[in-house]
Amino acid sequence: MTTAVHPRTLITVAPTGAETAKADFPALPTTLEELVETATRCEAAGAAMIHLHIRDDEAKPTLELARLQAAVEAVRESTSLIVQLSTGGSVHDPLDERLKVLDAEPDSCSLTMGTVNFGDDVFSNPYPFVCELYKQTQERAVVPEFELFDLGHVAALHRLLDSFGLPYGERVHCDLVMGVPGGMPGTADALVAAVHAMPDAVTSWSATGIGRTTLAVAFASLAKGGHLRVGMEDTLTFARGVPVTHNAELVGRAADLAELAQRPAMSSDEARELLHVKRR
């Protein structure tokens, strides 16, 4: 990974995820209205991209196409954020349904580079599935964000790019997802190891630390020239004993850190230039 440090910081917000129950955390945005309100406030706070998981009327995770399409459309109408749909879904989602997420025509999609233990569950990403999803992103002009939960996922990214070439847009953007119980720890040491192992073709990368690793990972990412992902998918407490009440709090803090690092938050136009997403 040889890229020069970008003068600005891409902040991605992951507002919902598939793991937290609305009943346990009522501040989690799960309805379309809540997602749009969240997207709007997070954009104002400094986010340039949103990583979306969708919920059904009972606030349970779903990959229903109509809901995915409605969310993509609604966020596009009310913000200029880059819309990234999760193809990871929940640990219970079948692989074929996860492939169909691309039918909703997002700007970007997550693409996890391998299977990983996920708490007491398994987040399954067999290599043939990774290849199939990658080929479909190339055919459908969707920019993938390679999700790296472990060092082995970095090795798999070398293999994928060697076999199938560059993504649509010819930029290679990764996200280190750190501190998942079963994946790499959310530490500066692990981040540095993963960044050093990345293919030379990587043009940008962000990092997120789950739970209480969020700050250590954010500081390490900025120190190494990386970008930031934050949000209630990954972090539900703002500080010890202080629950997050809105995703914009986490985005605002990330923007403050980026400002302190003298790499202020980039706009969504700058992020489009960085990631080469298709104009839709």
Q: How far is the CB of 106 from ligand KMH (least distance, A)?
A: 12
Q: Are 218 and 209 in contact (CB under 8 A)?
A: yes
Q: How far is the CB of 7 from ligand KMH (least distance, A)?
A: 28
145 touches, from ligand KMH, Zn ion, none (C-beta below 5 to 8 Å by class): none
**53 or 246: whose CB is closer to Zn ion?**
53
Strand pairing of 116-118 and 121-123? antiparallel
**34 or 145: whose CB is closer to ligand KMH?**
145
Q: How far is the CB of 233 from ligand KMH (least distance, A)?
A: 6
**263 or 275: whose CB is closer to ligand KMH?**
275
Q: Are 102 and 109 in contact (CB under 8 A)?
A: yes
Q: Is 213 in the site for ligand KMH (CB under 6 A)?
A: no
- Sorted by sequence, the CB contacts under 8 Å of residue 200 that are 6+ apart come out as 1, 2
Read off φ and ψ for residue 172, nearest 5 degrees: -120, 105
Binding mask 2-31 for ligand KMH (x = CB under 6 A): ---------------xxx------------
CA distances, 254 to each of 9, 76, 79, 251 (Å): 9, 23, 19, 5
Among 110, 136, 213, 235, binds ligand KMH (CB under 6 A): 110
| Nearest-angstrom CA–CA distance, 111 and 131 | 10
Q: Is 95 in the site for ligand KMH (CB under 6 A)?
A: no
Bridge partner residues of 116 (DSSP): 123
- CA triple 212-216-222, angle to 5 deg: 140
Region of 129 on the Ramachandran plot (φ > 0 left; ψ -120 to 50 alpha; else beta): alpha
**109 or 220: whose CB is closer to ligand KMH?**
109
Binding mask 53-92 for Zn ion (x = CB under 5 A): ---------------------------------x------
CA distances, 72 to each of 22, 30, 117 (Å): 21, 14, 29
Nearest to 264 by CA among 276, 272, 252, 247: 252
**90 or 235: whose CB is closer to ligand KMH?**
90
Q: Is 124 in the site for ligand KMH (CB under 6 A)?
A: no
147 touches, from Zn ion, ligand KMH, none (C-beta below 5 to 8 Å by class): ligand KMH
Type of residue found at 196? H
User: Applying CB under 5 A, which residues contact Zn ion?
Assistant: 86
Contact footprint for ligand KMH (CB under 6 A): 17-19, 86-88, 90-91, 110, 112, 118, 123, 147
